[in-house]
Structure 1
Amino acid sequence: MSSYRISIVVHGSYDSKLEPANLALMSQNPRVRWRMPLACAALLLVGGCAGYVPRPLPEAPQWFADIDATSAPLTVDQVVSRALEFSPEVRHAERDVDIAKAKNYADGLLPDPTLNLSTDRPGAAGYVPAFMVELGYEVSALVDRPARKRAANALLDEKQLALEWTRWQVANHAYALYVQNVSLTHLENVTSQMTAYQQDVANRMDIALEHAYVTRDAAMLAQTRYRDSEQASSALRQEHLKAMQELNSLLGIHPGAQLALAAPPEPSDIPQDVIAQSLVDLAKHRPDLLALQAGYDEQDERYRAALLGQFPKLDIGVTRGRDTSAIYTTGLSVSVTLPLFNGNRGNIAIEKATRESLYDEYVQRLDDAYSAVHGITAELRVLHEQLHTARALEFALKTSLEKARHAFEQGNLALPALADIESQYLAQRIASEKLASEVLQQHVALCTLIGVSAIDHQPL
């Protein structure tokens, strides 16, 4: 879009010919008057400039010092503390805060004045070089500066709260990965022992088949159970490898590092009064909701600044000049932009629509937060019932297995029957551990949603 500019110049003048001494000095050296102002302006410009410092990109991954060589196993507190310090998500959120601080600093700076210089060289004798110097300032830029400064402050608050929300999530996620890796390590060891037992049973059944002590169906069944056990063990190793790589990534260490982890404390149920109180104050203490509130406040100020930007722009300047007849002039220039075609209406529409979008996003996030808490709470009740049933069945199978082993040692139970009970116990144990892991994941998700630690349920 285009706009019209109106310039108003008021001049006062005097005839320098009445000062022969000054005219003689300027005729001899017309550059004398230029040197000092230009030197001062150059010093000001150079003195306020920032220097360039190169920072080349790395050619290879830069992992932090490995911690897998430590003699003592890492505790859950050590893992969570390191995750908060070295997690890529936390470091990325910290850089966002740094950018917001830089923008806050930039929006707090006053606009620079403008200096215009021009000169004319006469082509006839008896005349002196003419010049014009104008120092101007955009006064209208000060009108929306308070709104832009408030918006920058709100943006900084938003990024700081987003960093806090990231730290919440990383802390609880590190705890969940810690417990998951410890559980998978224990389960993988047990499954490996069971696989070795099933292999021994299958070999013994093959020998018994050669002597016609068992049927071919029984030997084939033993081989099938051994292969199933081996597949289950392989699947657990893959799951454990994935969980360990995810934990290493969260801690910022080499993907292949093998960490020694101490046994974590048993997770306990979240008290219902903690959940109820957290829901009451959810919009007042959960960082992501507070960050959205700050983001909405920022956009509201951007909208205000856009409304202020529809008024005419005003530039005021002071001029000093000399024509070729050596007559000096001093004046005042005023430049006004007429808002006929643009009027900042496009930016106003954009900022208003963006504010509406942020409003809807906050309302939806608030609704989702309450719905998620209620949904996870209901799901946890069902999972706890399933886990209780699975643990009871596991205990019953363990008791039956102990009796079957005793009977087998006494010669009162055949090997295929013992192997069958062993397989059932292994399958049930894996199922119980899977349910326990799912309960833990939902437990951590609920703690993150209501803003308490998954370790001790204290407010984050």
Structure 2
Amino acid sequence: MRRAILIVLTLLAGCATYHAQPIAPAQLARQFEQRSLASDDLRAFLAKALGHEIQPWPVARWNRQMLTLAAWHYSPALDVARAQWGTAKAGVQVADAIPNPVLQLPFQFATPNPGPGAPFIWGPALDIPIETAGKRGYRVDQASHLSESARLTIGNEAWKVRGQVRDALLALYAARVRAEFLSRKAQALEQVVRMVGKRRSVGENSGPDVDAVVLVATQAQADLAAAQSARQDALAQLASAIGVPVSALDGVQFDLDELGTAPAAPPAAEARRDAIFHRADLLASLADYAAAESALQLEVARQYPDIHLGPGYTYDTGTHKIGFGIAGITLPIFDQNQGNIAQAEAKRKEAAARTAALQDAILGDLDHALARYRASLDAVQLSARHLTTARHQLDSQAAGFAAGDTDRLTLTQAKADYEANEMTHLDAVVAARQAADALEDAMQRPLEPEPASESLTEQESRR
């Protein structure tokens, strides 16, 4: 009896225990407010992702790659995806579990006593389930494919976060450069207003001419204020994409020079290959289909009943009996699991249709994005030629002013007009970058190499 108690206590000692982990909203808010681009945890994450120490720290100027890694470190969406992968990995362990035997302790009192011994019938027995037809293996396969799908979802979420950072940086770049152009334009127009006002005072200009110039100058000031407001909005958008408070970006310098150019469009065949073989959501959909295949195999295997062995010992009113029989076998007479098999087949067809539809949508988006990007590059080239012509005209006005052939008012107005041409060219460049971003999203591959961003999924799989 003592030995049995010892065995039971040993088994109970191996059981897991519960540890409470309450969530306090106030604590979560404090943790969010304490996030910054100078934390030691972020530095360690960047060093691991880039493969080298980060010196100096904090970083003097943050480029798109570094900000993307910071977003991957802080992103709540990625935290959810990682947690879901952890749940899926635990599902593999659940699927691989071997069913426990069941201990049976029957007890009967016999009266009148038919035997020579005590009037009791008792004794321990076991019900040992044995799965047949490879059910456990199919179950593990299904859980493994679902785990792979969850792992690939991390890469898909990471690409979305990268896109949010990229869009915010482009908005910040456009607002900053536009504000520079508008500031110079507003200054030139202020000078024009003063000069036109002086001419009016001596009778060289009429009132409507002055009012028209003042109206244009006022509009330039309003546009400048809008650009400055857009810069603040872009900073808030960037902070949200990274997962830090806006105050964490105070005083941070950004390297946005690369956003002023657009890379060449890739060949259509190469872009199509990247879209098919590198889209994380398509690969995850294929993993879901493989899981549906395993689920169907499992339901087919469940047509074959499991075996329950029932060894045991019985004391029967003085007689000792040892049993080696089979505790039970389910007979597939009324139900051969046909309903579950049909449902699993339907789910496999559904998974196949979903994968095919996703691939068609990806290829359609890719063709549209590639055509749009090529057209936007042509528009940038045309805008650049127009800007060059405008620059020649401004230089000609400046030369005329130096030679005394052009007055200061005409030259200043030409400077304001040139800034307007600069903004038109900026709009073309920003539109090209947006088209490039749409093309990158269609392929889920950067048009320019970014080694650290390409290996995120592999990094996460080793966490």
TM category (shorter chain) comes to 0.7 to 0.9
Deviation at residue 56 of structure 1 after TM alignment: 2.1
**1:270 corresponds to 2:258:** no
Partner AA of 2:138 in structure 1: A
What is the number of equivalent residue pairs in this alignment?
A: 423
Structure 1 range deviating more: 235-244 or 404-413: 404-413
- SS, match of residue 246 in structure 2: coil
Pick the aligned partner of 1:216 from 194, 197, 207: 207
CA deviation vs aligned residue, 1:315-345 (integer Å, no higher than 9, x gap):
332233345x354443335223344565544
CA deviation vs aligned residue, 1:89-125 (integer Å, no higher than 9, x gap):
4333332322222111221221222223344568999
- SS, match of residue 126 in structure 2: strand
Pick the aligned partner of 1:163 from 142, 154, 160: 154
Residue of structure 2 in register with 1:249 after alignment: 240
Shift of the 252–281 alpha-carbon distance from structure 1 to 2, 3 Å rule, reads closer
For the residues of structure 2 that align with 1:105 and 1:311, how far apart are their CA atoms?
24
Structure 1 range deviating more: 403-412 or 420-429: 403-412
For the residues of structure 2 that align with 1:348 and 1:206, how far apart are their CA atoms?
88
**1:144 corresponds to 2:135:** yes
Residue of structure 1 in register with 2:37 after alignment: 67
Deviation at residue 140 of structure 1 after TM alignment: 3.2
- SS, match of residue 372 in structure 1: helix
Contact 2:99 2:129 (8 Å CA) reproduced:
yes
For the residues of structure 1 that align with 2:226 and 2:353, how far apart are their CA atoms?
44
For the residues of structure 2 that align with 1:180 and 1:368, how far apart are their CA atoms?
27
Aligned pairs for 1:278-427 within 5 A: 278-280=271-273, 282-323=275-316, 325-331=317-323, 332-339=325-332, 343-401=336-394, 412-413=406-407, 415=409, 421=414, 424-427=417-420
Residue of structure 2 in register with 1:48 after alignment: 14
- SS, match of residue 330 in structure 2: strand
- SS, match of residue 310 in structure 1: coil
For the residues of structure 1 that align with 2:85 and 2:155, how far apart are their CA atoms?
11
Consecutive unaligned residues of structure 1, counting only runs of 5 or more, are 1-32
**1:79 corresponds to 2:75:** no
**1:133 corresponds to 2:124:** yes
Pick the aligned partner of 2:83 from 95, 100, 104: 95
Structure 1 range deviating more: 372-381 or 419-428: 419-428
- SS, match of residue 356 in structure 1: helix
For the residues of structure 1 that align with 2:215 and 2:318, how far apart are their CA atoms?
110
Shift of the 184–426 alpha-carbon distance from structure 1 to 2, 3 Å rule, reads same
Deviation at residue 302 of structure 1 after TM alignment: 0.9
Aligned residues: CA RMSD: 3.7
Consecutive unaligned residues of structure 2, counting only runs of 5 or more, are 39-56, 455-463
Residue of structure 2 in register with 1:26 after alignment: none
Structure 1 range deviating more: 252-261 or 112-121: 112-121
**1:240 corresponds to 2:231:** yes
Shift of the 206–134 alpha-carbon distance from structure 1 to 2, 3 Å rule, reads farther
> Highest relative contact order (Cα 8 Å, sep 6+), 1 or 2?
1
Residue of structure 1 in register with 2:23 after alignment: 57
Shift of the 71–271 alpha-carbon distance from structure 1 to 2, 3 Å rule, reads closer
Contact 2:380 2:425 (8 Å CA) reproduced:
yes
Pick the aligned partner of 2:95 from 98, 107, 110: 107
For the residues of structure 2 that align with 1:340 and 1:197, how far apart are their CA atoms?
93
Shift of the 202–311 alpha-carbon distance from structure 1 to 2, 3 Å rule, reads farther
Q: Please give the TM-score of this superposition, normalised by the length of structure 1.
A: 0.77
Residue of structure 2 in register with 1:19 after alignment: none
Shift of the 279–116 alpha-carbon distance from structure 1 to 2, 3 Å rule, reads same
Percentage identity across paired residues of the two chains: 17
CA deviation vs aligned residue, 1:352-371 (integer Å, no higher than 9, x gap):
22211211122122222333
For the residues of structure 2 that align with 1:206 and 1:225, how far apart are their CA atoms?
14
Q: Please give the TM-score of this superposition, normalised by the length of structure 2.
A: 0.77
**1:445 corresponds to 2:438:** yes
Deviation at residue 387 of structure 1 after TM alignment: 2.0
Pick the aligned partner of 1:436 from 429, 433, 450: 429
**1:187 corresponds to 2:181:** no
Shift of the 270–170 alpha-carbon distance from structure 1 to 2, 3 Å rule, reads farther
Contact 2:108 2:122 (8 Å CA) reproduced:
yes
CA deviation vs aligned residue, 1:217-260 (integer Å, no higher than 9, x gap):
22332332233223323332343333323322333322342331
For the residues of structure 2 that align with 1:312 and 1:72, how far apart are their CA atoms?
67
Residue of structure 2 in register with 1:7 after alignment: none
For the residues of structure 1 that align with 2:439 and 2:164, how far apart are their CA atoms?
12
Pick the aligned partner of 2:4 from 29, 32, 37: 37
Shift of the 70–207 alpha-carbon distance from structure 1 to 2, 3 Å rule, reads farther
